[in-house]
Amino acid sequence: MFVHAASILCCLALVTVSLGEEKVTKKPLGTWVRESNGHKFVFDIKAEGLTINVTAGEGSLTAEASYGLTSDGTLFGILTKVEKKGMENGPQKGDLFSFDFSANKKELTLSNLKGTRTSDEAAKATEGVYALEKKK
């Protein structure tokens, strides 16, 4: 009887340790805004997809994407639609991307941006702290 009870306690302890190590990352839902180097970046993250808007002077880019998350805070995706006005370079439909993130109720921090056509300059401008846009 004692051995059986000890085995059950040991199994419960292992399950508890295993569950404690698992990190679950929630989707950073909301509209996140950042201005950097004359560009305005808006990430509109919804449960079913992501829209990215970039404006710089008279130019603009709007990209829609399907995305997923890893348990350690990486968002990855594929661009499903890209519209550009006054911008020749940049992403195209079918491009892959990923970035690391952390978020709270007011801020989203984006880092380690990688992508099919991501330059160092674009990564530096895009990475940083985004503020949650207040609902109107």
Q: Is residue 7 part of a domain?
A: no
Dist CA 112 CA 122 (whole Å) = 11
> Which range of residues forms the domain containing residue 107?
24-132
Q: Is residue 5 part of a domain?
A: no
Task: Tell me the pLDDT of the chain (136 aa) as tens digits.
Answer: 434 333 333 333 333 333 444 455 799 999 999 999 899 999 999 999 999 999 999 999 999 999 999 999 999 999 999 999 998 888 999 999 999 999 999 999 999 999 999 999 889 999 999 999 987 6
Domain count within the chain = 1
Q: Is residue 12 part of a domain?
A: no
Q: Is residue 86 part of a domain?
A: yes
Q: Is residue 16 part of a domain?
A: no
* Listed residue (1, 67, 79, 59) closest to 29, CA to CA: 67
Q: Is residue 128 part of a domain?
A: yes
In this prediction, residue 24 carries a pLDDT of 54
Dist CA 123 CA 114 (whole Å) = 7
Q: Is 64 helix (H, G, I), strand (E, B) or coil?
A: strand
Give the domain CATH number at 122: 2.40.128
In this structure, what are the phi and psi dihedrals at residue 80, rounded to the nearest 5 degrees? Answer: -105, -15
**Predicted structure pTM score:** 0.79
